[in-house]
Amino acid sequence: MDRPVFVIAFEGQADPDVVGDAPHAWVRLGAADDALGRLRAEGVEEIVMAGPVRRPTLKELRPDRRAARFLARGLLNKGDNGLLGAIVRTLEEEEGFRVVGAAAVLNELRAPEGPFGGFEPDAGATDDIAHGIRVLNAMGHLDIGQAAVVQHGIVLGLEAAEGTRGLLERCGGLRREGRGGVLVKLPKPGQEIRADMPTIGPDTVADAIDAGLAGIAVSAQNTLVLDQPGLVSAADAAGLFVVGVRPDEYPANR
């Protein structure tokens, strides 16, 4: 059933084309009073957090009094998961909203289990996926990133502040001879996925192709897949596999 929506779009962060003609207000990222006041004026009770936000410096943020109280807890110096988790708790426990994960309203975008298209990982790629899962589970507690690129058992790179696209650009110049590597993307252990669920789309496939990878592995049901038909078409045309895995059931001890 359709539901009314209202969008808070952050200046310098949100894409105007994505906001489109939906009912919305443009708000400065540090203007918490304006954002929360507008949500209440519109009768909003549930909040869905969607889209990337580049972490600003304190000077860029220019926090109002409400945002400054939040930042006084030292949360700007935490990793992404720590910061986003604190934002969710503040919205629910102090402001009275209910935070809903994007997957709850876009359930059809959840990654399926198994191959998305016509290609599957071979034994070597399966070993690389298993190693990527081990690495991300070990590193995830440090709240660094959601993705790793592994080739022939060698970690070519871990996602950090540059994001998945930057990771793939960096790893393209590090690839070894032979079968291409694998991008493995998973939620971090204990991650607040309502605020930051891993996401892939056709652009991820294009970047993986440019990096010379053999495939992409993501967490089934815990990853959003944008334009899955377009993603599958591009991957199949390039002979690249995309697969949904369950990390807790995967042969990670290979």
pLDDT digits (tens, 9 = 90+) for 12-32: 888 888 888 889 999 998 899
Cα dihedral 74, 79, 82, 86, rounded to 10, equals 50
Above pLDDT 90, what percent of the chain?
Answer: 53
Q: Is the dihedral of CA 137, 91, 161, 228 positive or negative?
A: positive
Range with the largest mean pLDDT of 33-42, 53-62, 184-193, 243-252: 33-42
Higher pLDDT, 86 or 179: 179
- Asked whether 254 and 126 are in contact (CB, 8 A), the reply is yes
77 — pLDDT class (breaks 50, 70, 90): low
**pTM of the entire structure?**
0.82
209, two tokens: 């192709």
- Asked whether 132 and 217 are in contact (CB, 8 A), the reply is yes
pLDDT digits (tens, 9 = 90+) for 175-220: 899 999 999 999 887 777 777 789 999 999 999 999 999 999 999 9
Which residue matches tokens 């899955």?
A: 228
CA 199 from chain centre, in angstroms, equals 4
What is the distance between the alpha carbons of residues 233 and 239, in angstroms, rounded to a whole number? 10
- Sketch out the chain's domains with CATH numbers: 7-100 (3.40.50.20), 109-245 (3.40.140.80)
Q: Are strands 199-200 and 114-115 parallel, antiparallel or unpaired?
A: unpaired
What is the distance between the alpha carbons of residues 69 and 58, in angstroms, rounded to a whole number? 13
Three-state secondary structure call for residue 199: strand
